[in-house]
Chain A
Amino acid sequence: MRSSFIMLLVAVLVYPIFASSRPDNLASEQVLHRGNGAEVQTLDPHKAEGVPSSNILRDLYEGLTIEAPDGTVIPGTAESWEISDDGKTYVFHIRKNAKWSNGDPVTAHDFVYGLRRSVDPATASKYSQILAPILNAEDVIAGKQPVENLGVRALDDYTLEIRLKASTPYLLGLLNHSSTYPVHKASVEKYGDQFSRPGKLVSNGAYVLKEWVIQSHIKLERNPNYWDNANTIIDTVYYYPIEDQSTELKRYRAGEIDRTEDVPSQQIKWIKKNLADELQVAPYLGSYYFGFNLTRPPFKDNPKLRRALSMAIDREIITKRITGLGEKPLYSWVPPGINGYEAARLDYADWPQKKRVEEARKLYKEAGYSRSNPLTVEIRYNTSENHKKIAIAIAAMWKQALGVKTRLVNEEWKVFLENRKQKQVTQVFRAGWIGDYNDPYNFMEILLSKHGLNDSGYVNPEYDELLHQASMESDPKKRFELMKKAETLVLRDHPVMPIYSYVSSHLIKPWVGNYVPNVLDHNYSKDLYILKH
């Protein structure tokens, strides 16, 4: 139980720093207006996917753990926990004062009900996979075992045990994901699919759902029954679905919203000039990359060609001239920002571009191509101004450095996804991945030979084996070492070309207090406050 003691200590030490920062010049009206991207698809935490739903669900519900403003995992509805020495059993102690918004106590049974519902095939959750580390979860999802066999049980009303398939060091971070939230059994059973409507939704987080006008707004109000209600400052939160970023910027400028969900990249120069103090840009746990289709020529069994093409891309130019928000050139597969993990790097990461191009020319020739016999290749991307600009830049770099002839193909999102998955027509394709939780495995698993997102068709038994070992390893340090070793293989084989790591960007009014950027871009409304203005 050594590790659990450290966890508790960290939690106890870190927590009060954030909780005690209540200022005295608060505005009399504590109302926060947040832009929120697309309309949410659902407020059922077990069916939710996508950033817009998650933002609101974090305000409505509370998992066993939550995050401090800087993203550190801290106790949520569980006030403490113990982890067994083999890292496979977690025992959580639920706060005795945790309540649902209707006053009912939140118990360990609610979590058992929630987790079972999340993996139940009848729920048809798209995110239930994320619970795969829990004992028997995969079998339950597949319908091979009854939900009762899920490795989760209530030892008593306030004690919850979760048993895992293997030690999963990122479990605590996973437990603030919406697919692990408890739901109020009585109202789910009473209202069925409609339990997530205003007036029916019973939640256990800092806020309750007051209004939901589709495509207009979602209004949340303080939950007086929330266990930490005394420390919540903002009374009312409005979420506005605004997909168009220029529209969002105008509404921000007109003073109608306090925090934008995004920033229009075409207007970034104007913003940097006029709203520099309100622009918040922070590293975001995501990789933007281009993949090769390894199942067909010309990239099948041709690592030299793939390496040459990757080397010929000047990532600095892309991040400086095209994306321009502060994205960082990416020379690893796992983006920076994961606690304690130092990613492997491409061996040519520190070379000057000139040297890279020289080496690329050599490899290109060895692969059998030349100026007189150039490679003809297709870059496929989903329709978007930024992807197009980047694809054009890459095509130009390849042409200049190697004489490659590139054809650009843009496709509507769903068509693009289908083509990528089928691996029939793709050659080079755009892709990006944002981490669901703060752990390298999130990115590493994508390139497992059988993984659904492995659109490159990368098959490397050594890689699969290293990741398997890592997922069985209970020592966090050794686990990271195994993953780094696996990452080195990816960087050697070039199934993908990492381009840059994402940033999150928001405009935030100067009167929004306690806003701390973090790598997962999670901002709980309960941690913020409005200053006099």
Chain B
Amino acid sequence: MLRYSLKRLLGAVPTLLILMTLAFFMMRAAPGGPFDTEKTLPPEIQANLDKKYHLDESLVQQYGRYLWDLAHGDFGPSFQYKDYSVNELIATGFPVSLRLGLSAIAIALIIGVGLGTLAALRQNSATDYSVMTLAMTGISIPNFVLAPILILVFAVYLGWLPAGGWNGGAFKNTILPIIGLALPQIAYISRLMRGSMIEVLRSNPIRTARAKGLPERVVILRHALKPALLPVVSFLGPATAAVITGSVVIEQIFGIPGLGRYFVQGALNRDYTLVMGVVVFYGALIILFNFIVDLVYALLDPKVRYG
């Protein structure tokens, strides 16, 4: 197990390096630079800026410089938010996204697994159809439609919850964003869960358990749930990584100071260091969560063992 873990983690280094290199050169290949605005700068000022941010060096030199800084844990200064470093932006944004994301994933997991199981047990009944209709609706209504409706109803008309803002992370301010983040995940998870649960319920071990006369509750909870969860778990890895790094839509609409909007803003502003920072960070998280998923697999499925 330990050897396997070490191997996996070491294997992540070249993956990250490739990801970083691709992102670095793709970002530089995009037309326009971080300091381009409508107002064209006189060449002297452009030169001053380029010098300050080392943009006057060759691409290879810049790449080397970036690698060197990264190896020391330094993502560099943000080109856009001049008073902050990328490390600081990630350090302030990530805890916010993490808190919202983990809450949303936890809620989605509980509700999604529950609903999916319920639908599977009552396959082709009215319950099944209504759960699946709800799930389909959840998947097909995009966040940028759902979130404003939530705000209109709960903040503008009813006045129960704030329409946006973070307010230092007050509980009230997190409710709507968490719902906005969780709903699509609930939809996915319940569909996945229903499908795999139906399959598992038809499998030989379950038939055997039922034939032995075990109560239905025990059959479901003790014998069917674990194998049925496998597809959900593999979905959860990348989904968690995505949700805890923030959603640009939810953050924009609710005014949440998370990490998500830096992906889009960084790219639009050609804030090279910020884009690199979030891409590398996100990449590392995905690798980490996929690794965790594989470990959880071993716990759930006796057929999977790592030597």
Contacts and interface: CB of A to CB of B under 8 A. Distances in A.
A295 to B, nearest CB: 16
A196 interface: yes
B255 A214 contact: no
A250 B176 CA distance: 14
Nearest to B271: A41
Contacts of A359: none
Interface in B126-184: 148, 151-152, 155-156, 159, 162-166, 168
A216 B81 contact: no
Interface stretch (B8-16, B42-50, B63-71, B202-210): B42-50
A414 B48 contact: no
Interface stretch (A240-248, A304-312, A318-326, A460-468): A240-248
B166 A433 contact: no
A47 interface: yes
A243 B264 CA distance: 13
Contacts of A510: none
A110 B52 CA distance: 25
Interface in B43-83: 44-45, 48-49, 51-52, 77, 80-83
Interface residues of A, number: 51
B266 interface: no
B116 interface: no
B32 interface: yes
Nearest to A121: B48
Nearest to A39: B81
Given A215-B251, A417-B37, A417-B38, A246 B148 contact: yes
Interface residues of B, number: 51
B92 interface: yes
A141 B48 CA distance: 9
B44 A121 contact: yes
A196 B83 CA distance: 7
A49 B83 contact: no
A254 B253 contact: no
Given A129-B45, A417-B36, A251 B52 contact: no
Given A125-B45, A129-B42, A247-B252, A253 B83 contact: no
B67 to A, nearest CB: 23
A197 B253 CA distance: 27
A453 B165 CA distance: 37
B172 to A, nearest CB: 12
A103 interface: no
A213 interface: yes
Nearest to B154: A254
Contacts of B254: 247
Nearest to B92: A214
* B interface majority secondary structure: loop
A453 B38 contact: yes
B104 interface: no
A55 to B, nearest CB: 16
Contact of A452 (B39, B52, B80, B89): B39
Nearest to A243: B252
Contacts of B270: 414
B82 A214 contact: no
Contact of B164 (A193, A256, A433): A256
Contacts of B269: 414
Contacts of B93: 214-215
Nearest to A244: B252
A124 B45 contact: yes
A39 B271 CA distance: 14
Contacts of B38: 417, 431, 433, 453
B42 A452 contact: yes
B31 interface: yes
B165 A193 contact: no
Contacts of A254: 151, 155-156, 159, 162-163
Contacts of A126: 35, 37, 39, 41, 45, 49
Given A214-B93, A250-B155, A414 B255 contact: no
B162 A43 contact: no
B4 interface: no
Nearest to B249: A244
B268 A412 contact: yes
A141 B45 contact: yes
Contacts of B148: 246-247, 250
B81 A214 contact: yes
Most buried by B among A142, A251, A412: A251
A217 interface: yes
A194 interface: yes
Given A213-B166, A216-B255, A194 B83 contact: yes
Interface centre among A42, A47, A194 (most CB of B within 10 A): A42
B164 A247 contact: yes
A125 B52 CA distance: 11
A28 B37 CA distance: 44
Contact of A44 (B48, B83, B155): B83
A172 to B, nearest CB: 22
A17 to B, nearest CB: 35
B256 interface: yes
A128 interface: yes
Nearest to A241: B255
Interface string A251-289: 101101000000000000000000000000000000000
A418 interface: yes
Contacts of B82: 41-42, 44, 47, 193
Contacts of A196: 83
A124, A128, A196 interface centre (most CB from chain B within 10 Å):
A124
B101 interface: no
Contact of A240 (B39, B81, B156, B165): B165
B253 A244 contact: yes
A211 B277 CA distance: 25
Given A41-B81, A42-B82, A214-B84, A250 B151 contact: yes
B173 to A, nearest CB: 10
Contacts of B1: none
A247 B155 CA distance: 12
A254 B152 CA distance: 9
Contacts of A433: 38
A129 B165 CA distance: 37
Interface in B67-122: 77, 80-84, 89, 92-93
Interface in A190-220: 193-194, 196-197, 213-217
Interface of A: 39, 41-44, 47, 49, 121-122, 124-126, 128-129, 141-143, 193-194, 196-197, 213-217, 240-244, 246-247, 250-251, 253-254, 256, 412-415, 417-419, 421, 431, 433, 451-453
Given A141-B44, A216-B165, 6 more contacts: A41-B80, A41-B81, A143-B44, A217-B166, A240-B255, A241-B255
Q: Which 7 pairs of residues, A with B, have the shortest CB-CB distance? A: A452-B40, A414-B32, A215-B257, A254-B163, A142-B44, A216-B257, A42-B82
Interface of B: 30-33, 35-42, 44-45, 48-49, 51-52, 77, 80-84, 89, 92-93, 148, 151-152, 155-156, 159, 162-166, 168, 251-258, 261, 268-270
29 contacts: A41-B80, A49-B37, A122-B52, A124-B52, A129-B45, A141-B44, A193-B77, A193-B83, A197-B83, A214-B89, A215-B93, A215-B255, A240-B165, A242-B255, A247-B151, A247-B163, A247-B252, A250-B152, A251-B255, A254-B162, A254-B163, A412-B268, A414-B30, A414-B269, A415-B32, A417-B37, A433-B38, A451-B40, A452-B41
